[in-house]
Amino acid sequence: MRCPSCRQVGTFESIPDTNDVRTNVYFLGQRRCPKPGCHTHVFVVCYPDGRIEHSYPAELIDFDSARIPAKLVQTFSQALECHANGLHIPAAIMIRRTLEEVCADKQASGKVLRDRITALSNLVVLPKPLMEAMHELRLLGNDAAHVEAKTYDTIGDDEIRAAITLTREILKGLYQLDELVAALRALKK
Ligand SMILES: [Zn+2]
| C-alpha of residue 86 to centroid of ligand 1, in Å | 22
pLDDT score for 26: 95
pLDDT score for 153: 76
Domains in the chain, CATH or no CATH each: 13-56 (no CATH), 70-185 (1.20.120)
* Tens digits of residue pLDDT in 26-79: 999 999 999 999 999 999 999 999 899 999 999 889 888 989 999 999 999 999
pLDDT score for 188: 86
Average pLDDT, the chain: 92
| C-alpha of residue 43 to centroid of ligand 1, in Å | 14
pLDDT score for 161: 95
| C-alpha of residue 98 to centroid of ligand 1, in Å | 25
Nearest-angstrom CA–CA distance, 21 and 38: 25
* Tens digits of residue pLDDT in 136-177: 999 999 999 988 877 887 899 999 999 999 999 999 999 998
Nearest-angstrom CA–CA distance, 36 and 50: 22
Radius of gyration of the chain (CA): 20
% helix, strand, coil for the chain, step of 5: 50, 10, 40
| C-alpha of residue 80 to centroid of ligand 1, in Å | 17
| C-alpha of residue 170 to centroid of ligand 1, in Å | 26
Average pLDDT (108-134) is 93
